[in-house]
Structure 1
C-alpha cells in the first residue's frame, strides 16, 4: 500500500515565496528588467525543495521556461559543472533551434559543459598549462553570454540545487555569473543545505563573497511553528490530528518539515511514543519495513550517487527484471525512492535517508557495491552520461579500495577534468592519484605514460610516449592545476615538495621547470618578486642541451627584466628565448618571446624594427588563433605605441583587441585593454570616453591598479585632489609593495607628486621625486620617466616666490636636470617632453622667454595631445605678456593663445587650467570669449578678500608667523590670527602653505608684491 507522506497542501513560506516571485517580476519588467540572483539556504529537511517546486509552478504559469540542475555527489566527490551541464541540457532540449543559434561558433568550447554539442564533430581539446587560465575565463564568459542570449526574448528560470555538494569549478562559475550577468530575463536560484556549511566548508567563502554583492538576495528557511506543523500533518493524514499528537510530533521534529512527515507516517493512528529517539533509526524505520530485494536496491542506490540510471542499477543489482521492478515499486510506494526528473533512473526522495542507508552499510559491503558498480561501468561505459563516466568510474574504484584499478581511473578522470577546464577537480584527482601511487603495484605503474596523463610534462630528454610516468610528473601537473584554479598555496607546497624530491637527483631541467613554477606562484602570492627563483632556474639550465625548459626559462627571465630592470641583459635573454624555442619547436613560447623581444627593441631605439616584430607576431597569432599570445599582443603592442606617441594607432588596435577578447570570453585581458584604451583617449583629449574606459577596466581585479592610475590623472587635471588621492590609494593597494615595477611605481610617484604640489606641499613633492629617482631611472623607462620629471619641474616653477620653497631649490632643480639628461629622446613625444622640462626649469629660475615656450609649442603641436598643447599655449601667452618679453608684449597673439587654451580647458573640465588662463587674462585685461569664468577683473575681489586680508595673505605667502604679521601691519596677534582663519576659509584650503600656493597660482599678487614675497 502506498503511504502518503508529502502534504498536498503547501504550508507556510508565504514571505519566502513572495521574495522569489518578486525576483521573477523584476527580471521581466519591460523597461528595467535585469537578471536576478537568489540563494536559498536551510537545514536538511526544512522544505527547500518544496518551496522551489511551488516557485517553479508559479514561474511556469507565468510563461517562464524552467530548467533544473543539481550538484551530483559521488561519495565525497562532486562532478565538475554538473548542475550547469544538466540545466543547459534541459535548455537545449526545450529550445533546440534557439540554443543552436545562441551557441553558434562556440560549440567546441561550450562542449566542455555540454559534451553532446560536439557529437559528430571535433571534441574539445585540452589547452596547455600556459593557456589554462585564459581558457577557463573564456568558457565562463561564453556561458554567461549564452544565458543572456537565451533569456533575451523569453523568461528563463535556472534552478541549481544542492550547492553544498558543488565542485570548485561549479562554485567559480556561479560566482562569475552572479557578478557578470547584465542583461536578459533570467532568474538564477541556487539552494544549499545550511547545516552542512561548517567553518571549513568550501562553500562558506563563496557565500560570504556573494553576500557582499548588491545584486544577490539570500533567503534562509526557518523551521515550522507548531501551527504550521499541525497544518502539514492535516494534509498528510487527510484529517485534523489530535492536539496531543501535534505536540508530540512538534517536540520530536523541532519543526523540521521532513521529520514531521516521517513522524506523522509512523504515528499509525495517533501514537508516536513507540518511536525510538535515534534520528538514524527514525530515518531507517521505513527502509527496514521494505521487502529484502527492495532494501538491497535501496542500499545500491545509496552508494551509486545522487541518481542511479535504471540500466546501471539493473546490471549491479543482478536481479531478474520482474524482481527489480517489484523492488523499485515497493521503494517508490513507500516514498523512499523517486524516479529521476528525466525518467531514466532513481534517487532517494530525501538525501537524509540516503545518507542514513549509506552509513548503515558494513565496510566490506560498501567496497563490494562500489566494485560491482565499477566493474559494470567499465564493461559498458554507455550506462552513464558521457560527461560523468570518468569521474564516476574513478570514484567507484577508489571506494572499492582497489589501488591497481583506481590509479589509472583517477588519472583518466583528471585528464577529463582538465579538458573541461575544471582545474580544481583536476587538482583533487591528482592529489588522490599521488595518495594511491605507492599502493598501486609496480607493474601497473610501469604501464602508465606521461603522454597519456600529463600536459605540462617537464621535458627532460626522454620520450613521454615510452617513458613510464613518474610521481614527479603528477606533482608537475598538480602544481599547474593548483595555480590555474586559484589554489596557489597548495600549488606552492607541491613545488616545494617536488624540489626536495629532486635534491638527490641529477635532473637539472626538471628542477629548473619547478623553479619557474615557484617564481610564478611567489609573485602571485605577493611573497616576493620571483627573481631569486628565476635566477636559480637560469643557473640550472646553463650548459645543458637546448630544450623547451631553456626556452621557457629565458622567456620568463626576459619578461621579468623587461618589467623590472629593462636594459641590455633583458634583450639578450629575449633573443636566447627565441633561439631556443625555435630549436626545440616550442612555437607558443617562441611567439611570447618574440613579442617581448619586439618591445625591448623599441626601447633600444630601433622603433621600426621592434614594431615590425610585434606586428608580425600579432598577424601570426591572429591567423593561428593562439589565444594567450593574442591577448598579450593586443595589450603590449598598443601600450608600446602609446608610449611612443602613436595614440590613434594604439586606440585602433585596442578597439580591435577588445572585440577579440569579448569573442573569446577573456575578461581579464579585456579589462587590461580598457585600461590602456583610457590612457590613449586621455592623450587624445577624449576624456569622458576615457573615464568610461577606465571604469570598465575595474571589472577584473588585476587591472584595477591601472584603472586607478588613469582615474587619478583625470582628477589631478580637473583639480580634485581628494579624488586623486583616493584613486592613488586604490592603485597602490592593487599594485602592492612586494614587487616594484617601474611601469607601476613611476606613475604612482607622479600622482603623489602632483597631489602634493596641488595642495601647496612643495617640500613633500620634492621628497617624493627624490625618493623615486634617487638611484636613477632604469633604462627603457622614459615613457614613465618623462611625465614624472615634467611634474617635478612644473611644481618647482609653480612654487617660485614661495619662501618655504627657497631652501633646497637649487639642489632640487639640479636633480631634475640630471634625471632628464638620463632619459632617451628618440621619438617626437619624448623630444617634446625634453623641451617642456627645460622651459619649466627656466620658468622656475625666472629666465623662461617666449622663444623657449615657442620651441615647446612647435614640438607639441603635431602630437595630437590637446590638453598638453593647451597648457603650453597658456605658458607661451604668459611669456608674451611678461614685461620683460623680447620685443615687448604681444597682446593680440597672447589673447588668441589664451582663448584656444580656455576652449580646451572648458571642453575637458580642466578647472586648474581654466582658472590659470582666466586669471592671466584678467591681469592683462584681455577678453576670453566663451570662457568658463565671468569673474571680476580682480581675482582677490572674486574670492571676497578684503584689502587687509590681501595684505595678510601676502605675508602668509612670505612665511611670516601671526606675531610677525601683527608687527608689520600694526595689529594685534589675535587679530592677525582671525584674518588668517578667514583667508583659509575663503580660499577653501586647509593650511598656510596651500593658501600661499593657491595665491600664486591665481595671480593674486602684483609683480612688486611677488618680489616682496620672494625677498
Structure 2
C-alpha cells in the first residue's frame, strides 16, 4: 500500500478548509466590485497555509484574475528588503507589461527602489518622509493596475519579512481605497513569539475592520483519514489512521512526512522527535544528494541553479543527478520560474540547517560568498550585496564581513529601507573592532555615508571612523521612524566625543539631538542648539556651521522673535554659499524671507520667499519648496490676504503631495484651513483641517489641525466639540511646545470655551496667563483675536452677578496688552477698533459711532463672520439709541443671512432674538409678515412658564435649593426643571445657561430676585 508514496506524499485531494476557502473566494467576488480586500492567513508550520493559498490561486485564475505571488526571503537570519513585493511586481510586469508601464509612468525612478527593472534609482532625497512617499506610490501603482481587472497579490511567509516589507504591507492594508485588488499574506503563527517583530503588526491589523484574519487549525481524525486516502489513492486501514493521527497530531505536513518516511523503509527506526522526523528522508538520499540538500539549506529560501553549481563544486551531471534524487523524494522543488531550487517545506530546511556542524556551516557560507564575488551574474543585482553581507558574516570573516555589511547598508538606503540599513550599520559597528586595521583604513565616508562629513574633512581621502557610522545610523533611525534609537545614537556619539574632542562632529550630533528632542516632545530643542552654536563659534565656515546657524535662526523665529534671528539667518546663507551647501542655503533663505516680512519689509520678504520657492522646486528640493509654501501662506494670512493664501496653499499641496511629504502637506493644509475659515468657507476649512489630521505624521501639525477644528466648533456654537478639540490640541503640542504661534491660539480657544460656558473667572484666568507669557514681536495676529474674545466675554457678562467683581481689572489688562500690539495691516487695525468698542460696551459707554467705525473697518476685509458680528453690535446700538430702525433691520438681516450661510448657530440665535425683541423682520417685508409684537423670546426657545422662572433664577446664580425656596417647590423638582432647561437650550451646564440668558438679554435687572 505504501509503494507509490516515495514520489507522491502530497494528497491530490484538497482536504478540509472549505470555510476558509469560501472566505477567500468571497473576497475575490467583493474585489470585483472595486472594493480592495485584505486577508491574513495564519497557522503553525505545516498546517496547510500554502495548500490553501494554492487552491485559492487556482480558483482566482479560473475566474480570470491576474495572480502574482511573492515570498519573504530569508537569507541566513535576515530578510531581503521588499522581497515579496519585488517578486510579485516582477510577476505583474511579465503578465501585464504595458499596463504596469502606464501605471508607473513618471515615477519609474522612485518605484525602481522596489522593482529595479523599472530603471535607475535616483540619488536621494532622504528624509523622514522618503519611505512614506515610496509606499504611497506603490499603493497608487497597484490601484491603477487593478482599475480594469481583478488582481490577486499573495505574499507568503510574513514571519520572515523585513521591517520595510511589514511597514509597506501595513500601509497598503490601511490606505487601499479603490481597485479590484485582493492582498493575501500568510505567516507562521507558532513562530510569532512575544518579542517577534510581526506581533505588533498583527495587533495593529486586527484593529482594522477592513482586514480579515484566517487562523488554520489542525486536521481532525476524519480529515487525516481523507488526507491519507488521497496520498495512498486508496482507503487506509484504521490502525494506520490511528497511528498517523496520534503521531502527527493533525498537522498536515507531518502526516505527509510520516507516510513518506514509512514508504522509505524507515518505519521501525522513526523516533518521535520532530527533527528526526524531518531528517529521516534526507538521510536515505544518496550522499551527493544529501550534500546538495545541506548546501541549499544554508543558501537561503531559494538558491539559483548557477549559484548552486558553483558552490557544490560538482559537475553539472552530478548536480543534476543529486537534484533529481532530492526532488524525487519531495525534499526540494524547482522554483516556478525554473531558475532555482527551494525546500518543499521550510521546516525541513530549518532541520537540515540546524543539523550542520559549526565548521561545516561557515565553510558553506564562505563558498557562497566566494562564488558571488567571483561572478556577479549568479544572482539578481539587488540581492547580491545583501546576500554577500549575510554569507560573509555567517562565514565568520570580519575582514570581508565589515565592507560587505557597509555595501549592503548603502543598497538598503537606496531603496529607502532605512530599518534594514540601520540593522546593517549596527552589524558593521559590531564588526569594527574585529576587522583588521588595514581593512578599516581603506574604507571612506564617501562610499558608505550620505551624511556630509561632520568633521569637515575630505570624504574621499579621510578614513571612515566609527563616529561616521553613528552619524549615518542616527539618520537611518530617524528616517525609519525610530527616533528613540536615533536619540540613543547621538548620546553614544557625544559620550565618545568627550574622550576625542571634535567640535564640528559634536555640533552636528547636538543639532540632530535638538531636532529629535523637539519631535519627541521632550523639550523645545534650544538647550541642544545652544551647545552646538557655542561649539562652532569662531570656527571657519563649514556645512555644519551653516546648518547650526540656520537652525538657530529658525528656532528663534518660532520661539523668541528678535533682530538677532535675522542676523543669524543671513550669516547662515553666507556660510552655506561659501561652502557650496546649496540646500542649507535655500533653507536659510526661507527663514530670511520670513523674518524680513515680520521686521517691516513685507514686499521684500514675500519676494524673497517666492524666489526661494521657485528655485527649490526647480532644483528638486521639494522639502524646502514646501517650507516656503508654509511660510508664505502663513504670512499672507497674517496680512489679511486670505484668498491669495488659499490659492498658494492649493499649489503647495499639489507640489508636496506628489513627493509624499506628509508633514509638509499637513502644515500647508492647516494654513489653508485657517484662511478658508477667515473667508467664511467653513465646510472647506473643516475638510482641510481633517486632511491635516490624516496626513500629519508629527505632533505639531496635528495639534494645529485640532486648533483649527476647535475654532470652527466655537464659532458654530458647538462648545462640547470645541472643548474636545482644544484638549486634543494640548495633547498633540505637549507641555514642552512653547511656540507663541501655538500657545496664544490655545489661550484664545480656552477663553472662548470658558465664556460660552459662563465661566467668567476662567476667562480672566486664561487672559492673565496669556498676558504673563507675553506676546512676542510679530505675534499680534494671534494676540488681537485673544483680546477680542476676552473683552467680548466681559461685555456679554454685564449683569451677571458673579462677573461684576474683577471686571475693571480685567478690562485694564486688555487695554494694557492692546497698547503693546502692532496694527501693520488693515485686518489688525479693524481688530483694534473692535477691541476698543467692546471695552466701551463692557463699561456701558459704547455708542452708535463706535460700532459704525468697527463695521466700516471690517467691511473691506472679506471676513464674513467678523463682519456679521460687527453688524449685530451696530444694530443693537442703533436700536438702543432709538436710531434708524430700517437700517438696524437691514443690518440684522444681513448678519443673520451670513450666520445662516456660515452655520453659526450661536450668532444666528442672538440675531433672531434681537429681531424678536425689536419686532424686526429677518427677511424683507414683502416676503414675510413682521413678527408679532407680543412674541416672547423665552417662549421662542421652547421653555414653559415654570422653566422661564427657573432659568431666571439660574441666571442670577442661585443653587437648586435656593431656587426651590424661591419658587416653593422641592429641590428635586428644581433639579428636574434645570435638566430640562439645559437640554432645550443645548448647553452643557448651569454656567453656560446663565451666560446664554445674559447674552440674549432674556431678563432685565428688574426680573432678578431681591433679598
TM-score range, shorter chain: over 0.9
Q: Distance in 1 between matches of 2:231 and 2:41?
A: 25
Which residue is 1:373 aligned to? Answer: 368
Which residue is 2:10 aligned to? Answer: 6
Cα shift at 1:972 = 8.5
Please, which of 896, 903, 922 is the counterpart of residue 909 of structure 1? Answer: 903
Which residue is 2:133 aligned to? Answer: 138
Q: Distance in 2 between matches of 1:817 and 1:926?
A: 35
SS in 2 for 1:383: coil
Q: Distance in 1 between matches of 2:136 and 2:979?
A: 57
Please, which of 242, 250, 253 is the counterpart of residue 247 of structure 1? Answer: 242
Q: Distance in 1 between matches of 2:561 and 2:613?
A: 22
Residue pairs, 1:438-517, within 5 angstroms: 438-517=433-512
SS in 2 for 1:767: helix
Q: More deviation in 217-226 or 747-756?
A: 747-756
Which residue is 2:123 aligned to? Answer: 126
Please, which of 545, 548, 554 is the counterpart of residue 550 of structure 1? Answer: 545
Cα shift at 1:629 = 0.9
Which residue is 1:53 aligned to? Answer: 54
Q: More deviation in 718-727 or 389-398?
A: 718-727
* Deviation by residue 1:453-509 (Cα, 9 ceiling, x = unmatched): 111143323211011111111111011101111222222221111111111223101
Return closer, same or farther for 1:146/1:807 CA change in 2, 3 Å cut-off.
same
Which residue is 1:603 aligned to? Answer: 598
Return closer, same or farther for 1:492/1:975 CA change in 2, 3 Å cut-off.
closer
SS in 2 for 1:112: coil
Q: Distance in 1 between matches of 2:266 and 2:500?
A: 73
Please, which of 219, 228, 250 is the counterpart of residue 223 of structure 2? Answer: 228
Which residue is 1:149 aligned to? Answer: 144
Which residue is 2:118 aligned to? Answer: 117
SS in 2 for 1:358: helix
Please say if 1:727 is aligned against 2:731: no
8 Å Cα contact 1:126/1:418 also seen in 2: no
Which residue is 2:306 aligned to? Answer: 311
Please, which of 893, 896, 900 is the counterpart of residue 894 of structure 2? Answer: 900
Which residue is 2:993 aligned to? Answer: 995
Structure 2: which 5+ runs fail to align? none
Q: More deviation in 511-520 or 556-565?
A: 556-565
8 Å Cα contact 1:801/1:1014 also seen in 2: no
SS in 2 for 1:699: helix
Residue pairs, 1:504-903, within 5 angstroms: 504-700=499-695, 701-702=697-698, 703-882=701-880, 885=881, 888-903=882-897
* Deviation by residue 1:261-290 (Cα, 9 ceiling, x = unmatched): 101222349995642011111000001111
Q: More deviation in 45-54 or 783-792?
A: 783-792
Cα shift at 1:64 = 0.6
Cα shift at 1:376 = 0.8
Cα shift at 1:960 = 4.4
Which residue is 1:34 aligned to? Answer: 35
Please say if 1:413 is aligned against 2:414: no
Cα shift at 1:56 = 0.7
SS in 1 for 2:128: helix
8 Å Cα contact 1:458/1:513 also seen in 2: no
Q: Distance in 1 between matches of 2:177 and 2:964?
A: 64
Q: Distance in 2 between matches of 1:379 and 1:210?
A: 44
Which residue is 1:192 aligned to? Answer: 187
SS in 2 for 1:267: helix
Cα shift at 1:663 = 2.2
The normalised TM-score by structure 2 is 0.96
SS in 1 for 2:377: helix
SS in 2 for 1:338: strand
Q: More deviation in 247-256 or 660-669?
A: 660-669
Q: Distance in 1 between matches of 2:338 and 2:266?
A: 37
Which residue is 2:26 aligned to? Answer: 22
8 Å Cα contact 1:91/1:99 also seen in 2: yes
Cα shift at 1:447 = 0.8
Return closer, same or farther for 1:400/1:569 CA change in 2, 3 Å cut-off.
same
Q: Distance in 2 between matches of 1:15 and 1:852?
A: 77
Q: Distance in 1 between matches of 2:865 and 2:486?
A: 48
Which residue is 1:98 aligned to? Answer: 99
Return closer, same or farther for 1:659/1:640 CA change in 2, 3 Å cut-off.
same
Q: Distance in 1 between matches of 2:107 and 2:871?
A: 53
Residue pairs, 1:277-426, within 5 angstroms: 277-426=272-421
Cα shift at 1:726 = 1.9
8 Å Cα contact 1:309/1:384 also seen in 2: yes
Return closer, same or farther for 1:427/1:977 CA change in 2, 3 Å cut-off.
closer
Q: More deviation in 469-478 or 927-936?
A: 927-936
Q: Distance in 2 between matches of 1:57 and 1:202?
A: 31
8 Å Cα contact 2:36/2:179 also seen in 1: yes
Which residue is 1:238 aligned to? Answer: 233
Return closer, same or farther for 1:124/1:977 CA change in 2, 3 Å cut-off.
closer
RMSD of aligned alpha carbons: 2.2
The normalised TM-score by structure 1 is 0.95
Return closer, same or farther for 1:417/1:982 CA change in 2, 3 Å cut-off.
closer
Cα shift at 1:26 = 1.2
Please say if 1:921 is aligned against 2:918: no
